[in-house]
Structures are given as C-alpha cells and as structure tokens.
Structure 1
Amino acid sequence: MVLKNLNYPLDFKFKITTLSSDFNITDKNGNYVAYVRQKMFKLKEDVIVFNDESKSQELFRIKADRWLDFNASYSINDLLNNKNYGRLARKGMRSIWKSHYEILDQNDQLRFLVSEDNAWVKIMDGIVSEIPIIGMFTGYFLNPSYTVKDSSGTEYFRLKKMPSLIGRRFQLDRLKDIDDQDESLVVLSFLMMVLLERSRG
C-alpha cells in the first residue's frame, strides 16, 4: 500500500504515558496518518506501524538486520500486500559527526539521502545538557533538522525536532512534489529514523 493524500506538515508526537517508544502521526488538520509502536526488550529493532491508536490494523513492519545499530539496515515491509517496501540504511562512520542515512527501494536501489543539517546543534546539546538546571531546557533551543535529497541534490523533505522540554515532537514537511511510492518510502523511513535519533538525544 502507499500513503496517499498526506496534508503536510505531519506531526510525530511521542506518548509520555507508556514505557515503549510509541508515537502518533497526524496531519496538519489533526487527522491520523499512523500509530507507531517500537517493541520493547528486543535485541534488534522491531517497529510496527498501525492505522491508528486503536491498533486494529497493522500496516507496516520495520526490522533491523542486526542488533548493533552502528551501521544497521532497517527493512520496511508492507504487511497488507506481504512485500518488501525498501529499507533505511544508517551510515555508521559518517554518522559519528553528522547523521547520515540512505533510503533504498525494494530493488535495493538508492533513492534518497538523508543528512543532519547542522552537526553543531547535536554537539552543543551534548555539552549544554550536562550543565545543572540549564541542561534541562536544551530541548527548547537546540533542535536538529534533517533534509532528504536525491542524488542530484534536489531537496524533497525536511524533518525538524520541535521545541519541547523532553524532546517528544517532530515535524515533517514536504518541500517538493513527489510520487506516492517514493513519498511513502521516505515517510516510513523517517518513522524509524525518528526513533534512532531521539534515542541519541
């Protein structure tokens, strides 16, 4: 299946009432796009994408190919049609300084590149967060953003961490029109990426 007629920006908002890393995805009108649940106590990342918070229908599943995520790959599977959708690959050594990911399609062909816009935000966040009291408020003024580009450098999407005391909200905006298949692949890749980047701070 593909995610169609999405009204941007999309809000990714983490729930604070559960131990697991669950979050809602809603559009600019507050309508549900999906509900995402990360399975707990798994050595390898295992994420299920539901239709909404009722969890009445599983749409996609995202699973890591290894238990260490330093250079891991995350396979995206369409559960309704029982097929592989593509994968998100984290570029380990490059991501030490500045987060880098590759988005590949179901034929394992590179479609898009995702990069952190400003590595200094992450560095400053790490430094300032260690300062008593002041460090509690870094989520309000040190918020990274990530841009999706194709191989020619054309920008298609931008994800921003929104000001928040505990860093529980992200916003995804589309910068340029894109076909439904590629759009779905990017949005689904960002679901996994948000979980990875949030765990890094």
Structure 2
Amino acid sequence: MILKNLNYPLDFKFKITTISSDFNITDKNGNYVAYVRQKIFKLKDDVIIFNDESKSQELFRIKANQWIDFNASFSITDLVNGKNFGRLARKGMRSFWKSQYNILDENDQQKYQINEDNAWTKVLDGFVGEIPIVGMFTGYFLNPSYTVKDNSGKEFFRLKKMPSLIGRRFQLDRLIDIPDEDESLVVLSFLMMVLLERARG
C-alpha cells in the first residue's frame, strides 16, 4: 500500500475534541489523505492510520519497539498487504538539543534523515513559555521546522509547525519529487515524529 498522487502541501490538523492525539491529514484541496489515531493508556506508542475519519479501513500501524528508550524506534506496518514498510529511529541524546530521526526502509537500510532546522526555536520556546501571559502566545511566533534529506544531503521535504495557540496544525511540503514508496515512508515517518515532538512540547 502506498499513498499516491498527493497534492502538497499536506495539512496535519489535531482534533481538540478527543483525549487521544487524533489528527487529520488533508491535501491542498481539502481532500482526505489519512486519519491518525494514537492509542492512549499504552506502555508503548501505538498508532493506527485510517483512510479517513470514518475509520472504515486501517492502512498502516506504527508501534514502538521498546518501552522507554532515548534510542527508541518505531516500526511501520502496511496493514493492507501485511508487510513491514520501514522504521523511524530517534537519534538518542541528540534529541534533547536538536531533534534528529533516521528513516529506514523495509530492509532496515537508512534512506533519509529528519533534522530540526533551528534548535534555538525550541530553547526560546522553553524560556519564553515560562513568562506569565506572554508565554501563552509562543505558539504564534516560535514554530519549529524540520527538513528531510537523503544520505547525500539533498533536501526533499519540509514540515513546519503553523502559528496557533495550542500547536494543533502542521504543514508538510515536498521540495522535489521522490519515488512513491519512499514518499509514503517519509510521510508516515513525519506523522509519527509530529506525535513525538508535540508530546515533548
């Protein structure tokens, strides 16, 4: 199963009416790409990607391989074809300063890397967020971005957190074309990364 004919930019928009971290992915025309649900009260991260908000078809599942580990990785399974699709691996202690993730294919070979563009955005967000009243509005002017590069350093995608009071919207843009299967792997990796980064604040 691959995500085909995606019209960028894609919007990741979190729902505020559920206690779980559910969000919609829609294209530039407002058409559904997927609906993402993170299961709550789980010791390990467990995320299901559906075709849309009706949840009539499960497309992919992403599960953490370990309970608590700075080097945790997340396996992506294609539920339609019942096969391993790839893996997202967090780069340990570096993530405390500047977030970095490796994207690996079904053969466990690293294909791409996600890097936070400016670590100071997160640092400033932490400081300014402690200031009374002013801290409430950091979501409007301190918004990180993340870029996907291949092993040679060529840039393919960029994800930006969009201005909002509670950080509920992200936008993913494709910079250059990429094979469909790799594109699906990157998009799926990004949606898991968004859940992890949003949980960190």
TM range (shorter): over 0.9
Q: Distance in 2 between matches of 1:175 and 1:200?
A: 27
Partner of 2:4: 4
TM-score, normalised relative to structure 1:
0.99
2:100 is aligned with 1:100: yes
Partner of 2:79: 79
2:33 is aligned with 1:63: no
Q: Distance in 2 between matches of 1:72 and 1:170?
A: 23
Q: Distance in 2 between matches of 1:57 and 1:91?
A: 32
SS in 1 for 2:111: strand
Runs of 4+ in 1 over 2 A off after TM superposition: none
SS in 2 for 1:74: strand
SS in 2 for 1:48: strand
Q: Distance in 1 between matches of 2:197 and 2:91?
A: 13
SS in 2 for 1:176: coil
Q: What letter is aligned with 2:117? A: D
How far does residue 69 in structure 1 lie from its aligned partner after superposition? 4.5
Q: Deviations over 1:15-67 (max 9, x none)?
A: 00000000000000000000000000001000000000000000000000111
Q: Distance in 1 between matches of 2:127 and 2:94?
A: 21
- 1:168-183 correspondence runs (5 A): 168-183=168-183
How far does residue 68 in structure 1 lie from its aligned partner after superposition? 1.2
Partner of 1:45: 45
Q: What letter is aligned with 1:5? A: N
Partner of 1:197: 197
Q: What letter is aligned with 2:73? A: S
Q: Distance in 1 between matches of 2:175 and 2:102?
A: 18
Partner of 1:116: 116
Q: Distance in 1 between matches of 2:4 and 2:189?
A: 16
Q: Distance in 2 between matches of 1:140 and 1:83?
A: 40
Identity of aligned residues (%): 82
RMSD, aligned α-carbons: 0.5
Q: What letter is aligned with 1:193? A: M
Partner of 2:155: 155
Q: What letter is aligned with 2:114? A: V
- 1:161–1:109 Cα change, 3 Å: same
SS in 1 for 2:66: coil
TM-score, normalised relative to structure 2:
0.99
Q: Distance in 2 between matches of 1:31 and 1:140?
A: 26
SS in 2 for 1:165: coil
Q: Distance in 2 between matches of 1:69 and 1:90?
A: 9
Partner of 2:129: 129
Q: Distance in 1 between matches of 2:55 and 2:63?
A: 18
Partner of 2:89: 89
Partner of 1:24: 24
SS in 2 for 1:170: strand
Q: Distance in 1 between matches of 2:70 and 2:30?
A: 35
